[in-house]
Amino acid sequence: QVNLLQSGAALVKPGASVKLSCKASGYTFTDYYIHWVKQSHGKSLEWIGYINPNSGYTNYNEKFKSKATLTVDKSTNTAYMELSRLTSEDSATYYCTREGWYSFDYWGQGVMVTVSS
């Protein structure tokens, strides 16, 4: 069965960076794009960007272009998102999700990032 397992919650200081992971299993990793979504305040969802695990091609929401960097490690079926220069506005839950037919068909369990000194 398809599973996306994300790394644990992170507490990071303002100005620092954090790298989140998303390990895929139960399907051929390189056959599906991986997207990342931010959920703030337990409600609204924002699309951050996606990566093609086969080619490494990325596409970002303009809003997150200087904030997020997406990479993959095909040898471990793992996608990563690094968030840089963190501020309190980056405190949120971040999800990785697999692209289905013009939708997101499987989601990781989410990882809460808290930015605090």
The token duo for 101 is: 């037919």
Q: Which stretch binds another protein (CB under 8 A): 19-27, 45-53, 67-75, 84-92?
A: 45-53
Count CA within 13 A, CB hemisphere, residue 12. Answer: 24
Phi first, then psi: what are they for 67, rounded to 5°?
Answer: -105, -40
The token duo for 110 is: 């989410």
**Residue 61 engages another protein in binding (rule: CB under 8 A):** yes
Which residue, 7 or 61, has its beta carbon nearer to another protein? 61
List contacts with another protein (CB under 8 A).
35, 43-47, 59, 61-62, 95, 97, 100-110
